[in-house]
Amino acid sequence: MAYSAKPSHLLLFVFFLSSLESILTTREGEALVKWKNSLAPSSFLDSWSLTNLDNLCNWTGITCNSAGSVSEINLCEKQLDGMLSEFGFTSFPNLKNLTLADNFFSGPIPPAIENLTQLQYLDLSMNSLNGPIPFQVSHLQSLLILNLSQNALQAPNWSHFSPMPVLRFLKLSRNPLVSKFPNFISNSHSLTYLNLSHNKFSGDLVRESVFIPICIILKSSVFHRRVV
């Protein structure tokens, strides 16, 4: 009896996993369609449809992992107008790449972005995003690349930011950021590229030895020559 039960238990387990994957895919598809309906123009995203959920991994700008879950959303240079507050941040547990660069997104970056816990690449550059950069961005502890350049973002209270130990690329250039040097950067030891140019940063620059070899671009900011 015990031997004959094992295959049935295995089949039940496989069925259970398959059901979970199907539920997740449906949730992701529904979240994408809801977001699409808040964007203009949305005609570019005609493939994003509730009647096309079985083909989610072939939707425009969407890449899936081997389990069929959304791993990348790349809508760069699509002239999309909308707000990130309409994006379902809690619906994409496996998202690793979110690229929305060179569009017309406006409004703040929602604190809910911290729910994208697997995110490695975030590019929101060349939009019209405004408001303070939320400290919840620093909770994305798997993030390797962060590009928020060329927006209308404001400087937050940097003391609320956590170190980002695996972050390699940070670009905050061409925002109206007025503040002292962001202190969380000095504890983000994996950085190899840092661009804070065309802002109004000032004060003491961190000691260069806290970084591995790094390209630092600080044009149009005013830092004291003393390092700390």
Q: pLDDT tens, 116-167?
A: 999 999 999 999 999 999 999 999 999 999 999 999 999 999 999 999 999 9
Per-residue model confidence (pLDDT) at position 220: 63
Per-residue model confidence (pLDDT) at position 204: 72
Q: pLDDT tens, 47-93?
A: 999 999 999 999 999 999 999 999 999 999 999 999 999 999 999 99
Q: Are 7 and 53 within 8 A, CB to CB?
A: no
Q: What is the mean pLDDT of the chain?
A: 87
- DSSP letter at 205 equals E
Element (H or E) spanning 201, and its range? strand 200-205
Q: Are 62 and 56 within 8 A, CB to CB?
A: yes
CATH number at residue 55: 3.80.10.10
Tally: H helices and E strands in the chain? 1, 15
Q: Are 170 and 189 within 8 A, CB to CB?
A: no
Tell me how many domains the chain contains. 1
Element (H or E) spanning 139, and its range? none
How far out from the chain centre does Cα 7 lie? 42
C-alpha angle 135-138-139 in degrees, rounded to nearest 5: 100
**Residue 162: Cβ within 10 Å count:** 15
Residue type, 132: P
Per-residue model confidence (pLDDT) at position 16: 41
Query: Token pair of 60, please?
Result: 């425009």
Query: Token pair of 175, please?
Result: 């925002």
Confidence of residue 1 (pLDDT cuts 50, 70, 90): very low
CA 74 to CA 62: how far, in whole Å?
7
Confidence of residue 3 (pLDDT cuts 50, 70, 90): very low
Cα end-to-end distance, the chain, whole Å: 72
pLDDT at 214 over 90: no
Domain enclosing residue 143, as ranges: 2-227
Bridge pairing between strands 193-195 and 169-171: parallel
Contact residues for 106 (Cβ-Cβ < 8 A; gap 6+): 81, 82, 83, 127, 128, 129, 130
CA dist 146 to 26, 75, 97, Å? Answer: 29, 16, 11
CA 104 to CA 151: how far, in whole Å?
10
Q: Are 188 and 163 within 8 A, CB to CB?
A: yes
Per-residue model confidence (pLDDT) at position 6: 56
